[in-house]
Structure 1
Amino acid sequence: MEMFDLASVLGSHHVVLYFYPRDNTPGCTRQAIDFSDHDADFAKEKCIVIGISPDDCLTHADFRDEHGLSVELLADEEGEVCKLYGVWQSETRDGVMKRGVRRSTFIISSDGVLRHVLHDVTPRGHAAEVFQLVKQLNSRKLNGNRQKHGRHA
Protein backbone atom coordinates (compact mmCIF):
# COMPACT_ATOMS: atom_id res chain seq x y z
CA MET A 1 0.00 0.00 0.00
CA GLU A 2 2.80 2.35 -0.90
CA MET A 3 4.04 3.89 -4.11
CA PHE A 4 6.88 2.21 -5.97
CA ASP A 5 9.45 4.11 -8.02
CA LEU A 6 11.34 1.94 -10.50
CA ALA A 7 14.11 4.54 -10.75
CA SER A 8 14.85 4.11 -7.04
CA VAL A 9 16.20 0.56 -7.55
CA LEU A 10 17.89 0.94 -10.91
CA GLY A 11 21.60 1.48 -10.61
CA SER A 12 21.86 -1.15 -7.91
CA HIS A 13 19.49 -3.91 -9.07
CA HIS A 14 18.17 -5.58 -12.18
CA VAL A 15 14.38 -5.61 -12.27
CA VAL A 16 11.98 -8.26 -13.49
CA LEU A 17 8.53 -6.80 -14.14
CA TYR A 18 5.97 -9.47 -14.79
CA PHE A 19 2.43 -8.57 -15.76
CA TYR A 20 -0.36 -11.02 -15.04
CA PRO A 21 -4.16 -10.93 -15.47
CA ARG A 22 -5.56 -11.56 -11.95
CA ASP A 23 -4.74 -12.76 -8.47
CA ASN A 24 -5.84 -16.25 -7.45
CA THR A 25 -6.30 -17.72 -10.90
CA PRO A 26 -4.45 -21.02 -11.43
CA GLY A 27 -1.83 -19.69 -13.86
CA CYS A 28 -1.24 -16.46 -11.98
CA THR A 29 -0.91 -18.30 -8.68
CA ARG A 30 1.59 -20.78 -10.18
CA GLN A 31 3.65 -17.94 -11.62
CA ALA A 32 3.71 -15.94 -8.37
CA ILE A 33 4.65 -19.00 -6.31
CA ASP A 34 7.45 -19.91 -8.73
CA PHE A 35 8.90 -16.40 -8.63
CA SER A 36 8.64 -16.41 -4.82
CA ASP A 37 10.34 -19.82 -4.64
CA HIS A 38 13.28 -18.32 -6.58
CA ASP A 39 13.30 -15.03 -4.66
CA ALA A 40 16.59 -15.77 -2.85
CA ASP A 41 18.24 -16.77 -6.14
CA PHE A 42 17.17 -13.51 -7.76
CA ALA A 43 18.42 -11.56 -4.74
CA LYS A 44 21.87 -13.20 -5.08
CA GLU A 45 21.94 -11.87 -8.63
CA LYS A 46 21.02 -8.37 -7.38
CA CYS A 47 17.59 -8.56 -8.97
CA ILE A 48 14.15 -7.77 -7.64
CA VAL A 49 10.95 -9.31 -9.02
CA ILE A 50 7.76 -7.29 -9.24
CA GLY A 51 4.35 -8.60 -10.26
CA ILE A 52 1.79 -6.16 -11.67
CA SER A 53 -1.91 -6.69 -12.25
CA PRO A 54 -5.09 -4.58 -12.25
CA ASP A 55 -6.10 -6.00 -8.85
CA ASP A 56 -6.24 -3.58 -5.91
CA CYS A 57 -3.85 -3.54 -2.95
CA LEU A 58 -6.19 -5.42 -0.60
CA THR A 59 -6.65 -8.23 -3.13
CA HIS A 60 -2.86 -8.39 -3.54
CA ALA A 61 -2.41 -8.57 0.24
CA ASP A 62 -4.87 -11.46 0.52
CA PHE A 63 -3.20 -13.22 -2.44
CA ARG A 64 0.27 -12.73 -0.94
CA ASP A 65 -0.79 -13.93 2.51
CA GLU A 66 -2.81 -16.92 1.28
CA HIS A 67 0.08 -18.28 -0.81
CA GLY A 68 3.07 -17.05 1.23
CA LEU A 69 4.39 -14.91 -1.62
CA SER A 70 7.58 -12.94 -1.19
CA VAL A 71 7.65 -11.05 -4.49
CA GLU A 72 6.47 -7.47 -4.57
CA LEU A 73 2.97 -7.06 -6.05
CA LEU A 74 1.87 -3.74 -7.50
CA ALA A 75 -1.70 -2.64 -8.15
CA ASP A 76 -2.40 -1.02 -11.51
CA GLU A 77 -6.15 -0.58 -11.13
CA GLU A 78 -6.46 1.97 -13.93
CA GLY A 79 -4.17 -0.01 -16.26
CA GLU A 80 -1.82 2.94 -16.74
CA VAL A 81 1.40 0.93 -16.34
CA CYS A 82 -0.02 -1.94 -18.38
CA LYS A 83 -0.74 0.50 -21.19
CA LEU A 84 2.76 2.02 -20.97
CA TYR A 85 4.28 -1.44 -21.40
CA GLY A 86 1.82 -2.41 -24.13
CA VAL A 87 0.31 -5.36 -22.28
CA TRP A 88 -3.24 -4.02 -21.94
CA GLN A 89 -5.23 -5.70 -24.67
CA SER A 90 -8.75 -5.84 -25.99
CA GLU A 91 -10.26 -8.82 -27.71
CA THR A 92 -13.68 -9.94 -28.80
CA ARG A 93 -14.89 -13.33 -27.59
CA ASP A 94 -18.34 -14.57 -28.49
CA GLY A 95 -19.29 -11.08 -29.64
CA VAL A 96 -18.26 -9.48 -26.34
CA MET A 97 -15.37 -7.02 -26.06
CA LYS A 98 -13.08 -8.00 -23.18
CA ARG A 99 -10.08 -6.15 -21.87
CA GLY A 100 -7.25 -7.64 -19.91
CA VAL A 101 -3.55 -8.05 -19.34
CA ARG A 102 -1.35 -9.99 -21.73
CA ARG A 103 0.89 -12.20 -19.57
CA SER A 104 4.31 -10.64 -20.20
CA THR A 105 7.69 -10.22 -18.54
CA PHE A 106 10.22 -7.43 -18.93
CA ILE A 107 13.82 -7.73 -17.73
CA ILE A 108 15.51 -4.40 -17.10
CA SER A 109 19.23 -4.33 -16.33
CA SER A 110 20.59 -2.29 -13.46
CA ASP A 111 21.73 0.37 -15.94
CA GLY A 112 18.08 0.94 -16.90
CA VAL A 113 18.19 -0.81 -20.27
CA LEU A 114 15.30 -3.07 -21.27
CA ARG A 115 17.13 -6.33 -22.07
CA HIS A 116 14.36 -8.89 -22.61
CA VAL A 117 10.65 -8.84 -23.39
CA LEU A 118 8.67 -12.08 -23.15
CA HIS A 119 4.99 -12.13 -24.17
CA ASP A 120 2.31 -14.79 -23.77
CA VAL A 121 4.46 -16.75 -21.35
CA THR A 122 3.51 -20.09 -19.87
CA PRO A 123 3.46 -19.76 -16.07
CA ARG A 124 5.00 -23.17 -15.29
CA GLY A 125 8.78 -22.93 -15.47
CA HIS A 126 8.77 -19.27 -16.43
CA ALA A 127 10.56 -18.09 -13.28
CA ALA A 128 13.46 -20.48 -13.92
CA GLU A 129 13.72 -19.26 -17.53
CA VAL A 130 13.77 -15.63 -16.40
CA PHE A 131 16.36 -16.42 -13.72
CA GLN A 132 18.71 -17.83 -16.38
CA LEU A 133 18.35 -14.61 -18.40
CA VAL A 134 19.17 -12.52 -15.31
CA LYS A 135 22.23 -14.69 -14.60
CA GLN A 136 23.38 -14.07 -18.17
CA LEU A 137 23.14 -10.32 -17.57
CA ASN A 138 25.54 -10.62 -14.65
CA SER A 139 27.93 -12.98 -16.44
CA ARG A 140 28.11 -10.59 -19.42
CA LYS A 141 28.82 -7.75 -17.04
CA LEU A 142 31.60 -9.72 -15.34
CA ASN A 143 33.10 -10.87 -18.64
CA GLY A 144 32.90 -7.34 -19.99
CA ASN A 145 34.77 -6.04 -16.95
CA ARG A 146 37.40 -8.76 -17.22
CA GLN A 147 38.03 -7.97 -20.86
CA LYS A 148 38.14 -4.28 -20.12
CA HIS A 149 40.71 -4.74 -17.36
CA GLY A 150 42.62 -7.33 -19.38
CA ARG A 151 43.30 -4.82 -22.16
CA HIS A 152 44.84 -2.37 -19.73
CA ALA A 153 46.92 -4.83 -17.74
Structure 2
Amino acid sequence: MLNEGDAAPDFTLPRDGGTTVMLSALAPQKVVIYFYPKDDTPGCTTEALDFTRLGPEFAAAGAVVVGVSKDSVKAHDKFCRKHALGVILASDEEGDTCERYGVWGEKSMYGKTYMGIERTTFLIDGAGRIARIWPKVKVPGHAEAVLAAARAL
Protein backbone atom coordinates (compact mmCIF):
# COMPACT_ATOMS: atom_id res chain seq x y z
CA MET A 1 0.00 0.00 0.00
CA LEU A 2 1.47 3.33 -1.08
CA ASN A 3 1.08 6.48 0.98
CA GLU A 4 1.60 10.17 0.41
CA GLY A 5 5.30 10.93 0.96
CA ASP A 6 6.45 7.54 -0.37
CA ALA A 7 8.79 7.30 -3.35
CA ALA A 8 6.71 6.60 -6.44
CA PRO A 9 7.59 3.22 -7.96
CA ASP A 10 9.46 3.83 -11.21
CA PHE A 11 8.21 2.23 -14.39
CA THR A 12 8.98 2.02 -18.07
CA LEU A 13 5.90 1.18 -20.14
CA PRO A 14 5.05 1.14 -23.83
CA ARG A 15 2.83 4.06 -24.77
CA ASP A 16 0.61 5.31 -27.53
CA GLY A 17 2.55 6.21 -30.65
CA GLY A 18 4.93 3.26 -30.28
CA THR A 19 7.49 4.70 -27.87
CA THR A 20 7.91 4.25 -24.11
CA VAL A 21 7.35 6.38 -21.05
CA MET A 22 9.61 6.16 -17.99
CA LEU A 23 8.48 7.87 -14.80
CA SER A 24 11.99 8.80 -13.62
CA ALA A 25 12.81 10.36 -17.01
CA LEU A 26 9.96 12.86 -16.56
CA ALA A 27 11.60 14.47 -13.49
CA PRO A 28 11.83 17.25 -12.44
CA GLN A 29 8.33 17.75 -13.81
CA LYS A 30 5.35 16.93 -11.63
CA VAL A 31 3.57 13.85 -12.95
CA VAL A 32 -0.11 12.98 -12.74
CA ILE A 33 -0.58 9.22 -13.09
CA TYR A 34 -4.19 8.22 -13.46
CA PHE A 35 -5.06 4.55 -13.52
CA TYR A 36 -8.26 3.73 -15.37
CA PRO A 37 -10.11 0.48 -16.17
CA LYS A 38 -10.62 0.42 -19.96
CA ASP A 39 -10.16 2.47 -23.12
CA ASP A 40 -13.25 3.90 -24.81
CA THR A 41 -15.74 3.21 -22.03
CA PRO A 42 -17.95 6.11 -20.86
CA GLY A 43 -16.22 7.05 -17.58
CA CYS A 44 -12.72 6.47 -18.93
CA THR A 45 -13.43 8.52 -22.05
CA THR A 46 -14.79 11.42 -19.98
CA GLU A 47 -11.75 11.29 -17.70
CA ALA A 48 -9.30 11.26 -20.64
CA LEU A 49 -11.15 14.13 -22.34
CA ASP A 50 -11.14 16.16 -19.11
CA PHE A 51 -7.37 15.71 -18.68
CA THR A 52 -6.87 16.52 -22.39
CA ARG A 53 -9.00 19.68 -22.15
CA LEU A 54 -6.91 20.87 -19.18
CA GLY A 55 -3.61 19.78 -20.77
CA PRO A 56 -2.30 23.31 -21.40
CA GLU A 57 -3.07 24.26 -17.79
CA PHE A 58 -1.28 21.15 -16.47
CA ALA A 59 1.72 22.05 -18.65
CA ALA A 60 1.66 25.62 -17.29
CA ALA A 61 1.70 24.12 -13.78
CA GLY A 62 4.81 22.09 -14.71
CA ALA A 63 2.94 18.77 -14.82
CA VAL A 64 2.65 15.99 -17.37
CA VAL A 65 -0.36 13.64 -17.39
CA VAL A 66 -0.01 9.88 -17.91
CA GLY A 67 -2.99 7.52 -18.08
CA VAL A 68 -2.31 3.83 -17.35
CA SER A 69 -4.51 0.83 -18.10
CA LYS A 70 -4.00 -2.79 -19.08
CA ASP A 71 -5.15 -2.08 -22.64
CA SER A 72 -2.69 -2.69 -25.48
CA VAL A 73 -0.75 0.06 -27.24
CA LYS A 74 -2.88 -0.66 -30.32
CA ALA A 75 -6.05 -0.03 -28.28
CA HIS A 76 -4.51 3.16 -26.84
CA ASP A 77 -3.66 4.41 -30.34
CA LYS A 78 -7.23 3.79 -31.51
CA PHE A 79 -8.65 5.49 -28.38
CA CYS A 80 -6.37 8.53 -28.89
CA ARG A 81 -7.30 8.89 -32.57
CA LYS A 82 -11.04 8.47 -31.98
CA HIS A 83 -11.20 11.16 -29.27
CA ALA A 84 -8.20 13.37 -30.23
CA LEU A 85 -6.64 12.76 -26.81
CA GLY A 86 -3.67 14.83 -25.72
CA VAL A 87 -2.44 12.77 -22.77
CA ILE A 88 0.15 10.01 -22.66
CA LEU A 89 -1.50 6.58 -22.45
CA ALA A 90 0.76 3.84 -21.09
CA SER A 91 0.05 0.14 -21.53
CA ASP A 92 0.51 -2.12 -18.49
CA GLU A 93 -0.70 -5.35 -20.10
CA GLU A 94 1.20 -7.51 -17.61
CA GLY A 95 -0.24 -5.52 -14.68
CA ASP A 96 3.07 -5.14 -12.82
CA THR A 97 2.78 -1.36 -12.47
CA CYS A 98 -0.88 -1.62 -11.43
CA GLU A 99 0.10 -4.09 -8.72
CA ARG A 100 3.02 -1.97 -7.46
CA TYR A 101 0.72 1.05 -7.19
CA GLY A 102 -1.94 -1.04 -5.42
CA VAL A 103 -4.72 -0.31 -7.92
CA TRP A 104 -5.35 -3.90 -9.09
CA GLY A 105 -7.91 -5.67 -7.01
CA GLU A 106 -11.30 -7.22 -6.55
CA LYS A 107 -14.25 -5.22 -7.82
CA SER A 108 -17.94 -5.93 -8.10
CA MET A 109 -20.66 -4.85 -10.49
CA TYR A 110 -24.25 -6.03 -10.65
CA GLY A 111 -23.51 -8.66 -8.01
CA LYS A 112 -20.56 -10.17 -9.89
CA THR A 113 -17.04 -10.08 -8.47
CA TYR A 114 -14.04 -9.72 -10.76
CA MET A 115 -10.46 -8.41 -10.79
CA GLY A 116 -9.80 -4.99 -12.27
CA ILE A 117 -8.20 -1.58 -11.97
CA GLU A 118 -9.59 0.67 -9.26
CA ARG A 119 -9.76 4.18 -10.74
CA THR A 120 -6.99 5.97 -8.79
CA THR A 121 -4.84 9.04 -9.40
CA PHE A 122 -1.39 9.87 -8.03
CA LEU A 123 0.32 13.26 -8.10
CA ILE A 124 4.10 12.84 -8.10
CA ASP A 125 6.33 15.78 -7.17
CA GLY A 126 9.50 16.76 -9.03
CA ALA A 127 11.61 14.64 -6.66
CA GLY A 128 9.63 11.46 -7.45
CA ARG A 129 7.61 11.36 -4.23
CA ILE A 130 3.88 10.83 -4.00
CA ALA A 131 2.38 14.19 -3.07
CA ARG A 132 -1.28 13.22 -3.30
CA ILE A 133 -3.45 10.13 -3.87
CA TRP A 134 -7.08 10.08 -5.00
CA PRO A 135 -8.50 6.57 -4.48
CA LYS A 136 -11.83 5.38 -5.93
CA VAL A 137 -12.09 8.41 -8.21
CA LYS A 138 -15.43 9.81 -9.29
CA VAL A 139 -14.83 11.37 -12.70
CA PRO A 140 -16.92 14.59 -12.64
CA GLY A 141 -14.68 17.43 -11.44
CA HIS A 142 -11.71 15.13 -10.82
CA ALA A 143 -9.31 16.58 -13.41
CA GLU A 144 -9.99 20.07 -12.05
CA ALA A 145 -9.21 18.92 -8.49
CA VAL A 146 -5.95 17.32 -9.63
CA LEU A 147 -5.01 20.49 -11.52
CA ALA A 148 -5.60 22.60 -8.39
CA ALA A 149 -3.33 20.26 -6.39
CA ALA A 150 -0.63 20.34 -9.10
CA ARG A 151 -0.70 24.14 -9.10
CA ALA A 152 -0.40 24.22 -5.30
CA LEU A 153 2.56 21.82 -5.24
Does the TM-score normalized on the shorter chain lie above 0.5? yes
Q: 1:95 to 1:103 in 2, by over 3 A?
A: closer
Out of 25-34 and 97-106, give the one that drifted further.
97-106
The structure with the largest alpha-carbon Rg is: 1
Query: What's 1:38 paired with?
Result: 54
Q: Give the Cα–Cα distance (whole angstroms) in 1 for the partners of residues 111 and 145 of structure 2.
A: 36
Query: What's 2:100 paired with?
Result: 84
Question: TM-score normalized by structure 2?
Answer: 0.85
Q: 1:6 to 1:96 in 2, by over 3 A?
A: same
Post-superposition Cα deviations, 1:51-104, rounded to whole Å, max 9, x if no partner, equal: 000100010001011001000000011111100000001246677541100000
Q: Runs (4+) of structure 1 moved beyond 2 Å? A: 91-97
Unaligned runs of 5+ in 1: 138-153
- Amino acid of the residue matched to residue 123 of structure 1? V
Query: What's 1:141 paired with?
Result: none
1:101 paired with 2:117, answer yes
Unaligned runs of 5+ in 2: 1-17
Q: Give the share of equivalent positions with the same residue, in percent.
A: 37
Query: What's 2:135 paired with?
Result: 119
1:47 paired with 2:63, answer yes
Q: Give the Cα–Cα distance (whole angstroms) in 2 for the partners of residues 94 and 65 of structure 1.
A: 31
Q: Give the Cα–Cα distance (whole angstroms) in 2 for the partners of residues 94 and 35 of structure 1.
A: 29
How far does residue 3 in structure 1 lie from its aligned partner after superposition?
2.0
1:6 paired with 2:23, answer yes
- Amino acid of the residue matched to residue 74 of structure 2? L
Larger helix share, 1 or 2 = 1
Question: TM-score normalized by structure 1?
Answer: 0.85
Q: Which has the higher contact order (CA 8 A, sep 6+)?
A: 2
Pairs aligned (count): 136
How far does residue 111 in structure 1 lie from its aligned partner after superposition?
1.4
- Amino acid of the residue matched to residue 23 of structure 1? D
